[in-house]
Amino acid sequence: MSRWIRILLAFAVLLAALGALPAAAAPAHAQDGPEQPSIDSLSMDQLVNCEPDGTQASGAIYRICMPPNWWYNGDLVIYAHGYVAITEPVGIPEDQLCLPDGGPCIPDIVNLLGFGFATTSYSANGLAVTEGVSDVVDLVNVFAQTHGTPNHVYIIGVSEGGLVTALATEQYANIFDGGAATCGPVGDFRHQVNYFGNFRAVFDYFFPGLIPGDPINVPPALVPVWEDYYDANVKPVVFDPANANKLQQLVAVSKAPVDPNNPMPSTEESVEDALWYQVVGTNDATAKLGGQPFDNQHTWYRGSVNDWQLNLLVQRIAADPAALAAINAHLQTSGVLTSPLVTMHTTLDQQVPYAHEIFYRLKTLFAGSGLKHINIPIQRYGHCEFTTTEALTAFGVMLALAGDQPMNEAGVRKLLPDATDRAQLQEMLEYYSNPANQQDIDTLRAQIP
């Protein structure tokens, strides 16, 4: 046998041996191919599997939703919900799981992008930020025990859950690789308390005796029936045309947002929401903080027809030191970031003022964490009124800051079937992923209310 024939035979044997080896494992996030269906042909029920709810050690209820194994990318997204009234039973707030634009719900969005999804009710309602942080941290362990340790863990949250998200991202960078906090009181919790307290103090000046109690003394019996009481006794008086001047002054002094394109309905919503939180939330917050936190001793109110008279006669209240100490210890963000945090907020938010974004951005700059934080302002009235495109923008920018892979294109196409929406998403991702497009300190300072 010639030398070249022996070489060719040996090469053939080698190729045969290689061909007998097992094929390389598919990547964690497999691409569409002949061995697996295209997600375009599958329904939402086939792509999202929410398992039966479970109970955490704290008593909180948790839920895990998973995509098919062949679509799961190995990463986990924790969702932190917003405020739930103390009068409600502890449970996952179903009405907070979907976006207001009628698009897919949050578990659907997360699973369609290939991520595992988990959320918790928290172990308490009302002011539950401390419980929320503890429960989302524990939920990561629950997920790991039942589904294996994820490659990366991200946290997203809305409203009160936005503060939970910011605190968890700041304090547990060893657990959370990034966070997206939307419409939350992330800048200064005392500012949030005083927003509701000031609204009630000014309201009582213009409409004395209309609501029982005062900014820090709410009759307990009023809390569970507040919505009916408001509709029957408060709303007809406040929005009586004869009181239009008083209403206008109330809105001006309290700085309650009004949609210029829809003034009267948005005014009604702003008044109703501010009073709801003040009445329903005050006693609960006072009990949990060890004292009442509202303080207007040195507040100068502006915007009435007679500011001197208003400031002379409005009820003055001093916060309890114990309550302020509790806020400083547990409810104030630091702005110190190791993992990246994206914040997104409507500029005319009637429940959580947009000023929080200014305060938080300044905190991150002074802490030297400015490059770890991106703020996305949405020019719109409403609380947490985001579109699917905007929600995907916040999520995609968070992934970019964390150095993770971009969102799966097939998942984005299914979530945004309209090419115009996808083009808008790409434009927003490119703009907000660049820290150079964030406002500088001088611009931010000029916006402080």
Domain shared by 153 and 59, yes or no: yes
* Cβ atoms 356, 384 nearer than 8 A: no
Instruction: Give me the chain's average pLDDT, please.
Output: 91
Domain shared by 349 and 404, yes or no: yes
pLDDT in the model for residue 9: 34
Domain shared by 96 and 175, yes or no: yes
Mean pLDDT of 378-386: 97
Cα dist from 443 to 120, 358, 446, whole Å? 38, 10, 5
**pLDDT of 223 above 70:** yes
Q: Which of 257-261, 308-312, 443-447 shows the lowest per-residue confidence on average (mean pLDDT)?
A: 443-447
State how beta strands 49-50 and 61-66 pair. Answer: antiparallel
- Pick the last residue of a domain from 305, 327, 349: 327
- Pick the last residue of a domain from 327, 345, 368: 327
Domain shared by 244 and 278, yes or no: yes
Angle at 111 between CA 106 and CA 116, to 5 degrees: 100
Strands (E), 223-340: none
Mean pLDDT of 394-423: 95
- Of 94, 169, 109, which is closest to residue 333 (Cα–Cα)? 169
Angle at 217 between CA 215 and CA 223, to 5 degrees: 95
Q: For the chain, how many structural domains are there in total? A: 2
Q: Greater confidence, 238 or 441?
A: 238
pLDDT in the model for residue 35: 60
User: Domain residues for 303?
Assistant: 190-327
Domain shared by 199 and 183, yes or no: no
Mean pLDDT of 186-198: 98
- The confidence band for 16, taking pLDDT boundaries of 50, 70 and 90, is very low
Domain shared by 300 and 350, yes or no: no
pLDDT, tens digit, 9 for 90 and up, residues 87-119: 999 999 999 999 988 888 999 999 999 999 999
**pLDDT of 43 above 90:** no
Domain for residue 12, yes or no? Answer: no
- Pick the last residue of a domain from 304, 327, 350: 327
- The confidence band for 1, taking pLDDT boundaries of 50, 70 and 90, is very low
Domain shared by 57 and 156, yes or no: yes
- The confidence band for 448, taking pLDDT boundaries of 50, 70 and 90, is low
Domain shared by 112 and 199, yes or no: no
pTM of the model: 0.91
